[in-house]
Amino acid sequence: MPIRANLLANLQQALNATVTPNLTATSHGDDLYEAYVWSIVLEAARTRGATTSFKDVHGNSVTGQFVFRTSPCEIWWDAQNYCHAELAFNGCPELEVHVGIYVAGRSMVRHECDVAVLHKSEADLCRSRHVLPRASKVVLAVECKYYMNSTPGLALGRAFLGLRDEIQKDNRFFVATSHSASVDKLLSKHTRDYDLQLSPVTPHNVDVMRGTFEQVFGNFKARHR
Amino acid sequence: MVRRTSAEFVGRADYTAEEKFEMVLGAVRAVVVGGAKIQDALAKTLGATDHTAEIHFEPGETGDVTHSFRPTEAVSRRGHVEEVERLLDELVEDVKRAD
């Protein structure tokens, strides 16, 4: 049976309407991907009862213009009006959720976190004193890898395992859009906190990861009751 | 007595038509559908319904590439994304039947 009449033409028409005109070759899918994982973390927090608000680097409320970092920088850096989310669980310390900040590892060397949830008190201290957040105050961290034409290399898997040692093992996640058998094998020996096919086109995987993040927030709430 | 030794040679095998089709399909789903859905998910999370709201991506310590999009545009593409997914499923069905 041949392909349905007009199917390809209809598909081309629908694709034209879907392609984002401002997502050009120079803009990076990885920027969007980190912000997307950030949004999954927020959804998980909301499901667990958090109220959320959006603030800029100066502490002002953000309503219309949201700015995400495309490369990491210090949490206090205000070259642009970078935004973050604040999470408030009833009876618990407030938290902040950032894209692309540096934190201090055990060795006092700075390490980038693609998505980081940390205590607001720590974030405020760091912004006022221009110091790096301590890894012990990072509740959840995610490393995000957006691959379209290739798969994550083994070096990335090794680097992530090293990072877990540097900024604590608990609640450190590795997510990617493209599966790699070698990275899968490596990470599976050391952690369950990863997914190598996390994207909106694999909604089941997104649901599972969101559920894992919900568990992190559930444990956070339980510790502070 | 001659000692036999083994040798390995690297050759080239072109992608089959099926493999090429799967690659293109994967690319369209990942980049076009996935990209649009990511923007839509961000728009929902931020709850930015004002047509003037914008989501910007600005460099941190390194880089100089900036880009942005309006959440309302992402929302308006939702129906088209669903249509693309439906048509891609039909295409896969037709190709399987043709085999």
CA distance B26 to B2: 51
Separation in Å, CA of A191 to nearest CA in chain B: 26
CA distance B32 to B85: 10
In the beta sheet, which residues pair with residue A99?
A: A115
pLDDT at residue number B23:
86
pLDDT at residue number A24:
54
Confidence class of residue A214 from pLDDT cuts 50, 70 and 90? Answer: very high
In A62-153, where does DSSP find H-type helix?
120-129
Q: Pairing between strand B54-58 and B67-69?
A: antiparallel
Per-residue pLDDT of chain B in tens (99 residues, 90 and over written 9) = 777 888 888 888 888 988 888 888 888 888 888 888 998 899 899 987 777 889 999 999 888 888 888 888 888 888 888 999 999 999 999 988 876
pLDDT in tens, A82-96: 999 999 999 999 999
Which carries the bigger pLDDT value, residue A4 or residue B82?
B82
Confidence class of residue A124 from pLDDT cuts 50, 70 and 90? Answer: very high
Q: For residue A3, how many other CB atoms are within 10 A of its CB?
A: 14
pLDDT at residue number A20:
64
pLDDT in tens, A169-183: 789 999 988 777 777
CA distance B67 to A192: 34
Is B84 in Cβ contact with A18 (below 8 Å)? yes
Q: Cα separations (Å) of A45 from A19, A90, A209, B27, B70?
A: 31, 12, 12, 31, 25
Question: pTM, whole model, 2 decimals?
Answer: 0.87
pLDDT at residue number A128:
95
Is the CB of residue B80 less than 8 Å away from at least one CB of chain A?
yes
* Range of A25-29, A57-61, A186-190, B10-14 with top mean pLDDT: A57-61
Chain A residues with CB under 8 Å of B77 CB are 17-18, 20
Closest-CA residue of B relative to A43 is B45
In Å, how far from its chain's centre is CA A199? 12
pLDDT in tens, A62-116: 988 999 999 999 999 999 999 999 999 999 999 999 999 999 988 888 889 999 9
Q: What percent of chain A lies above the pLDDT cut of 70?
A: 91
Q: Is this complex scored with an ipTM above 0.95?
A: no
Confidence class of residue A26 from pLDDT cuts 50, 70 and 90? Answer: very low
CA proximity to A100, closest of A122, A124, A69? A69
3-state per-residue secondary structure call for A58-85? CCCECCCEEEEECCCECCCCCCCCCEEE
CA distance A80 to A58: 10
Closest-CA residue of B relative to A200 is B34
- Restricting to B residues 46-65, those with a Cβ less than 8 Å away from any Cβ of A are 46, 48, 50, 52-63, 65
CA proximity to A72, closest of A17, A22, A121, A110? A110
In B28-98, where does DSSP find H-type helix?
34-46, 71-76, 78-98
- B27, HSE (Cβ side, Cα atoms, 13 Å): 8
